[in-house]
Structure formats: C-alpha cells, structure tokens
Amino acid sequence: MDIARSLRAEARRTNERRLLVLAGDPERTRERAATALDAADIPSAETTVVGPTAFLDCEHHEQSRAEELLGRTRTAVVLDAHGELRPDAVGRTVGAVDGGGLYVLLAPPLETWPEKRDGFDASLSVPPFGVDDVSGHFRRRFVETLRAHRGIAIVDADTDAVEQEGLTDPPPSRSVPAPTPPSDAWFRSETYAQCLTDDQRDAVQAFESLRDDGTAVVVEADRGRGKSSAAGLAAGNLAVAGKDVLVTAPQYRSAAEVFARAGNLLETLDIGFARDRASEPQRLDIAAAGRVRYAPPDEAAALPDDPDVVIVDEAAALPVRRLEQFLDAPAVAFTTTVHGYEGAGRGFSVRFRDRLVEGDHAVTDVSMTTPIRYGDADPVEVWAFRALLLDARPPVNQLIEDATPETVEYRRLSAADLLADKHLLREVFGLLVLAHYRTEPSDLARLLDAPNLTVRALTHEGHVVAVALLAQEGGLSADTRATMYEGGRVRGNMLPDVLSTQLRDEAAGIPVGQRVLRIATHAAVRSRGLGSKLLSETRAEFADRVDWLGVSYGATPELVRFWADSGYQTVHLATSRNATSGEYSVVMLDPCSDDGAALAARHSAWFQDRITAVLSDSLDDCDPDVVRAVLRATDSEPSLRLSEWEWRLVAGVPGGASVLDTNPKPFRELTRQHLSAPADPAALSAREERLLVRKVLQAQPWSAVAEGLGFVSERECMRTLGGIVERLTRLYGDLWVQEELDRHL
Ligand SMILES: CC(=O)SCCNC(=O)CCNC(=O)[C@H](O)C(C)(C)COP(=O)(O)OP(=O)(O)OC[C@H]1O[C@@H](n2cnc3c(N)ncnc32)[C@H](O)[C@@H]1OP(=O)(O)O
Ligand SMILES: Nc1ncnc2c1ncn2[C@@H]1O[C@H](COP(=O)(O)OP(=O)(O)OP(=O)(O)O)[C@@H](O)[C@H]1O
C-alpha cells in the first residue's frame, strides 16, 4: 500500500487531508483498509470506522450514529459504504479528520455503484413506489466528484490497481505568522498568545463583551475553525474574573474542546483549579473565583444555580425553543457551524436570529473562516463541499431584485434538468438550505433520486427566486392502508398517515395528493406575491391530476395566514411540539376534486368538534396568535348550538349574574364560532381575541392571563372579558338571549 504511505506523507507535509477510495469486494476493501492504515502509520486509537461492521480494532459507529464525530478530531475516519451511503454520514464525519490524516471510503466498484440500490435508497422508496424506482443520480454525481477532485486516490481493491493517485504535489506551504495580540484586550494577554489564527483572536475578543450583563455573542464558522477552542479560552478568562460559566452542547464530547482550552489556559496562567473528573472534566472550579461547568441542554435550559454566562456550543443542532430558553441568562454565546454536518447550520439564522435581535441582548457577531484543524484550501473539504453541495447559495440579490409575479417563469424541474445545469441545482438547493431550519445532505439525494418528489420553481431571467418541493402521497392499496391504520410503519405519506393513524380515518389514504414538503422565496424578494404565485401555478398544474394539495409545518401566525390566503384550510393541529422548530405542526388541505373535498370536509368538521377540548388540555400553551390563525383558516361552517340554559349562563356573565367557571363549555363554543367564522371580523381587537384564547379556550388562571396580556389587574381583565361576552352575545344570540342579557346589565 505505497499509495497510502505517500498520501499520508503528503497530508502531513501540507497539514491537509487526503481521501483514499478503496473500491471492490466488501471484505477485500476492508482488508485493504487495514493494510493502508498500517502503511500510513495511523494507530487504531486515532481511527474511527463508520459503517455496518467493526472490522478494525478501533472506535466504531453505524452511519446512523455519525454525529458521534461532531466537534471531534481523528487522524483517520473509514467510511464503509458497502451496505449504504448516507450523505449525512459523509457530511458529519469528513470534518473530523485532522490535518495530516486520511479519510478512507470503502465502496463497491465505482462503475456499477450508481446502479446498485442500497439501504439509503430503500429509505427513499416511498409507497406506492418501490426501490427500483429510485434513481442513482446522487451517487453518479458523487462518483464523478471523486474522479474530478484533487487529493483523492482511487484504488481497485480487488486488483490493487491505482486508478488515480490523488497526490497534489503542492509547493512547500508558507508558514502562517502567529496572530498579533490585540492592543486593547480585557482578557489576560496569555489568552491571545494561545490563539492560532487572526479569526480565532477576533472571536475570543468578541467574547470579552460577555463580562457585562445583557450581551450575546454569535460565532459562525465552518467546521474545524477553532470556535469551541475560542469559547474555551473565553470561558477560562471569565471564570478567572469570577464568573460562573455554564457550557452546553448536544453532546459533552463536542464541548470537550472548551474544557481542554479553558484548563490549558488556567495552567498557563498558573491559577489553581479543581477538575471534577480526570478523564472527562465537566467542571473546572477556581477557588474563590468563578467556574466553568457543563450541563446537557435540557438541564442547562433551566439555568441551574443562575449562571452569569451561558455558552451554547453547536447551537445549530438544538431546536429554536431550546435556544430561546438560554436568552434568560444575563450573558450568552452561541457557536454554530455554517456548513457541515447539518448541511446547513444556516438554519440557525432562519428562525432564531430574528428572535435574538428582537430580544434584549446587545449582539456581537463574529465569523471564522481560516481552518485550524487542517490547512487552508484543503482538497478534501473542497470535495465534500461540492459533493454534498454544502456551499450551495441562492442567486445574489442584484440578479433577482426586480422579480415580480409578472416577470417570473414557472419551471417544472426534473432531476435531469438540475443535473444538466449546475448553477440551477446550486440555486435551488441553496435557496432551500438558506430558508429552512434543517436541510441536510440527504435532502440533496432525495431531491435528485426519490421517485415521489417533484421540484417546481419560479425563475427570473433564469435565476431561481422561489422553489417548492412536492411529495406525492396517498393512492395507497388497501393492504398499505390497513397497515397504516393498525399503526404499522409506512414510509413517506405523512398526511395520509396522520389522518388515518391519529385521526382514525382508514379511507384517508385513498385520495391522491401532493404535499408541499418545502417552499421558499428568496429573502430579497419576499412579500411580493411570489410564494403565492408558485402555489397557484402548482395548483393549476396538479388540480386535474390529484385530489388534494396539502402541507404540514411548524405553525407561526404569519405562515398560517400565507397558506390560508392560498386556499389551504386547517384540518389538524398537532398536540406535541415539532422536535426541530419547537412549534406545533398544523396540517392543511386544499382540495382539488370531489374526493379531496370530501376528505377535507370531514376532517374540518372533526377538527371543529375536538379543538376546544384539546386547547384546554395539551395545547394550553400554544401561542394564542397561532390558535387564532389556525381557527380562522378552517373551512367548515361551525354550527353554534347552545341550549337555552347554556345561553342563560352566557347572558348572565356581562352583568355579573353568572360566572364562566360554572360551565366553560358554552363560552368555548361561542369563542370557537367567532374565531373560526366571525359574523363580524372587526368585532374584537387582536388583544381581545387573545384574551378569549388564553382564558376561555386554554383555561389559564386569571393572574397568568392578566400578566401575559398586560392588563393592570385581574379585575380589569375580568371586566374586559365581560364586555367581550356581551358583544358576542349580541352578535350570535337570538332576540330573547339579548333581552336576558339586558335584564342583568
Ligand atoms: C411546508 C413549508 O415549507 S412551510 C415553511 C415555509 N417556508 C419558510 O418559512 C421559508 C422562509 N420563508 C419564505 O421563503 C417565504 O416567506 C414564504 C415562502 C413563506 C412566503 O413567500 P412570499 O413570496 O413572501 O409569499 P407572498 O409574497 O406570496 O405572501 C407573503 C405575504 O405577502 C403578502 N402578499 C401576497 N401577495 C402580495 C402581493 N402581490 N404584493 C405584496 N404582498 C403580497 C401576503 O399577504 C403575505 O402576507 P402575510 O404573511 O402577512 O399574510
Ligand atoms: N487555540 C488553540 N490551541 C490549540 N489547539 C487548538 C486551538 N484552536 C483549535 N485547536 C485545535 O483545532 C481543532 C479544531 O478546534 P475546535 O474543536 O475548537 O474547532 P471547531 O470549529 O469547534 O470544530 P468543529 O466544528 O469540528 O466542532 C481541535 O483539535 C483543537 O484542539
């Protein structure tokens, strides 16, 4: 295995990584991998195998557990892709390989690999499609990138023939000068002597602001730029200054670097400190000063012992709701990966950034571009970015800023169209990545290969300004429907699944629909009607062919209005929060045929029947503006049927003759009627409607309602509710009810 030896030698000389592809028979490639690592002089303690079998005596994970390598540094990672190639596993593991190390890929013979269907392909075969309907575009493109990029050796493991050497023969690299320390530093000067790049110095200096309350720092960087280390250097300093620093991250391992750097700094400063554990110090205590301690995100969110500073490492991997909880800390830092394991840490920016900026903290932003783990312009990083489109971008603003619904063209984009035009593919994927909380490399494979998916876009002068990803659902056989109804797992088909499994409607899988999986408009041209135009064009295209168009997403008031304006109606509001966005998901349908209309009508009616009971129970913490928007987006005419006695209860409240608590049911019915199908939409203000949601529908205590909605006292809040009930009684009650009302006023 001379090739492995020379690759490693070159990797070490340049402080870059090299990629070694061993293609052929599975067992043979595994044997050759062992020989290659031996020849390259990489000990098993510094190697991780990611794949189905632990064929080397070293750390091993399945591809589904590739996140174990996030934030870590290994000399070699062997990705065994014989059983399957999960694009996300490539994205998560490649960044962990150290400069001077090797990324080793074991694969079937490359000529036939794209035609083979593997475990990952099976996950893309959504009924009624089978695995043979999955195309091999992603892997064909992947193999092409292996052949086209520098720094990648390809060896036929069966014959040991070297197809491609992968040596780049670079000129000797220039030594990078050490960063100069800042002139006006607050942190101890030794800190800056430990920084390895100018970027890291600047990031550490940005952390200085955390000494004051009301501050926040956001560090964005690609992988291996030294952001955890920067956070560690800062944490050490803050602890020396007496601060209690709480560090959190999805896994301790990815935050370990924070503790390593903080500990190292304290040693350099010759400051005595105690570590709680020798092997995995999750806590550093400085006598009579501060400390740095770790807690997993769920514990850390409660801000145990009121820390002065919270550092959230790998923040993009946590849900937005979780991130928001850390904003209760006096000072807080978030470090996030921009491109990489999640495909797009930009998701962090999508939902959370706005909330951070709107909040009370003064925010300092820093980004780090110069790699530390490996040399600048590392060929394996360049390859991974291209192969997984981690650096995909939507078009620059200047190209599309004049787009309006009148200038754009509706495009049906097949996988072949996207592969034939790499700019188009980059723009489509880039737009999805930038607009959605978590778009991963596997989404690229899905976009190119999944038989049930369709891409539609609006282009302005050839550039993508809006994109929608649609999934075919429904049209299921009786067997598949029965499996689903009985709780068995059926891939894809999210809406039929929710409607049949949770809402007990076995026939929901019969009509055929297109679910809008994702939609995004370029940020520079939002709110001009482009998103609505894309939906109306999609409807025009599909209306004759499907029974319904549908969607499910984490509900925000603005999004619900956007979908409702395009004709989608609420049929379900989930009772648990979405794990990623932390929001409650809403399901909406836009029927296109009689069968679709029947499906939507019965689910709308059931929704109306059950929603008040759910809102006073598991949805009692749902944002009142979401509740208002979701109810307003229902289509069925709610029938307000109150008994005579119930009307008398209602009519007695404004004059103080009766109280809500005696029987909340009629008040809930009246509220539901008004929020879903108001006789006069302007009868109540937004605040008054929120009061109805909080008190009547969600049964919150008066004190919480009054405080949450800014009433000066509970009495004022009660009086306002009385006035609201009076107006609703006049709107919906018969003449005798109104007379009953007047008797008590
Ligand atoms: C399944 C899912 O993907 S759900 C998630 C949806 N996607 C995202 O959240 C990604 C980030 N967001 C976006 O990309 C966009 O904001 C989208 C896709 C939600 C909306 O796209 P846009 O092109 O802005 O939509 P559009 O302009 O048609 O409508 C949005 C707003 O503009 C208004 N609007 C509609 N038509 C016009 C018009 N002709 N002129 C001016 N304003 C208009 C609408 O009233 C709407 O306002 P509202 O939100 O207060 O109701
Ligand atoms: N100032 C430093 N001193 C010593 N080593 C450093 C320093 N900064 C970074 N490193 C080393 O460089 C590697 C990458 O650093 P670090 O883990 O901080 O980067 P990161 O951007 O958080 O990476 P990832 O995105 O993978 O989590 C680590 O092995 C770390 O030990």
Does residue 391 lie in a domain region? no
Query: Residue type at 163?
Result: E
Same domain, residue pair 457 and 601: yes
Same domain, residue pair 157 and 11: yes
Does residue 652 lie in a domain region? yes
Does residue 26 lie in a domain region? yes
Residue 131: DSSP 8-state: G
Residue 285, SS3 per DSSP: strand
Same domain, residue pair 271 and 337: yes
Angle at 315 between CA 313 and CA 317, to 5 degrees: 115
CATH code of the domain in which 220 resides:
3.40.50.300
pLDDT band at residue 580 under the 50/70/90 scheme: low
Task: Report pLDDT digits (tens) over 364-413.
Answer: 999 999 999 998 889 999 999 999 998 888 999 999 999 999 999 999 99
Residue 226 Cβ contacting ligand 2 at under 6 Å: yes
Does residue 303 lie in a domain region? yes
Residue 528 Cβ contacting ligand 1 at under 6 Å: yes
- Both structure tokens of 327: 């904003």
User: How many structural domains is the chain composed of?
Assistant: 4
Does residue 380 lie in a domain region? no
Mean pLDDT lowest among 172-181, 227-236, 544-553: 172-181
Residue 558 Cβ contacting ligand 1 at under 6 Å: yes
User: What's phi and psi for 86, nearest 5 deg?
Assistant: -90, 115
Same domain, residue pair 273 and 335: yes
Residue 518 Cβ contacting ligand 1 at under 6 Å: yes
| Candidate of 373, 374, 378, 381 to mutate for ligand 2, largest count of ligand atoms within 8 Å of Cβ | 373
pLDDT of residue 334 exceeding 90, the answer is yes
CATH code of the domain in which 94 resides:
3.40.50.11040
pLDDT band at residue 345 under the 50/70/90 scheme: very low
Query: Residue type at 451?
Result: P
Residue 313's alpha-carbon distances to 318, 324, 325, 377, 518, in angstroms, are 10, 14, 15, 25, 28
CATH code of the domain in which 461 resides:
3.40.630.30
pLDDT band at residue 479 under the 50/70/90 scheme: very high
Same domain, residue pair 289 and 402: no
Does residue 392 lie in a domain region? no
Residue 196 Cβ contacting ligand 2 at under 6 Å: yes
Same domain, residue pair 621 and 650: no
- Both structure tokens of 185: 């530093």
pLDDT band at residue 101 under the 50/70/90 scheme: very high
What average pLDDT does the chain have? 93
Same domain, residue pair 587 and 612: yes
**CA of 226 relative to ligand 2 center, distance in Å:** 4
- Both structure tokens of 495: 């809406």
Does residue 376 lie in a domain region? no
**CA of 339 relative to ligand 2 center, distance in Å:** 16
Mean pLDDT lowest among 110-119, 157-166, 320-329, 336-345: 336-345
Ligand with minimal distance to 264 CA = 2
Same domain, residue pair 81 and 227: no
71 CA: nearest ligand 2 atom: 27
Q: Residue positions in the annotated binding site for acetyl-CoA?
A: 519-521, 558
pLDDT of residue 433: 82
Ligand with minimal distance to 316 CA = 2
Task: Report pLDDT digits (tens) over 426-470.
Answer: 999 999 887 776 778 999 999 999 999 999 999 999 999 999 999
**CA of 196 relative to ligand 2 center, distance in Å:** 9
pLDDT band at residue 339 under the 50/70/90 scheme: low
pLDDT of residue 104 exceeding 60, the answer is yes
Cβ atoms 34, 281 nearer than 8 A: no
Q: Which of 609, 632, 655 is the last residue of a domain?
A: 632
231 CA: nearest ligand 2 atom: 18
Same domain, residue pair 98 and 42: yes
Torsion-angle region of residue 363: left (phi > 0), alpha (psi -120 to 50) or beta? beta
Q: Which of 632, 653, 682 is the last residue of a domain?
A: 632
pLDDT of residue 356: 87
Residue 342 Cβ contacting ligand 2 at under 6 Å: no
pLDDT of residue 538 exceeding 50, the answer is yes
**CA of 421 relative to ligand 1 center, distance in Å:** 27
pLDDT band at residue 578 under the 50/70/90 scheme: confident
Q: Which of 348, 368, 388 is the last residue of a domain?
A: 368
Same domain, residue pair 626 and 723: no
pLDDT band at residue 344 under the 50/70/90 scheme: very low
Residue 551 Cβ contacting ligand 1 at under 6 Å: yes
Comparing 355 with 662, the larger pLDDT belongs to 662
Does residue 170 lie in a domain region? no
Cα–Cα dist 403/418, whole Å: 21
pLDDT of residue 662: 94
Q: What is the DSSP string of 142-170?
A: HHHHHHHSTTEEEEETTTTEEEE-----P
**CA of 92 relative to ligand 2 center, distance in Å:** 16
Task: Report pLDDT digits (tens) over 48-69.
Answer: 999 999 999 999 999 999 988 8
Residues 6+ apart with CB under 8 A from 37: 4, 44, 47, 56, 76, 78, 102, 104
Same domain, residue pair 452 and 585: yes
Same domain, residue pair 692 and 581: no
pLDDT of residue 221 exceeding 60, the answer is yes
| Nearest to 127, CA basis, from 444, 451, 414, 447 | 451
Task: Report pLDDT digits (tens) over 5-52.
Answer: 999 999 999 999 999 999 999 999 999 999 999 999 999 999 999 999
The ipTM, to two decimals, is: 0.86
Tell me which residue range forms the domain holding 580: 397-632
Cα–Cα dist 167/148, whole Å: 13
pLDDT of residue 343: 39
**CA 256 to centroid of chain Cα atoms:** 24
Residue 526 Cβ contacting ligand 1 at under 6 Å: yes
pLDDT of residue 9: 96
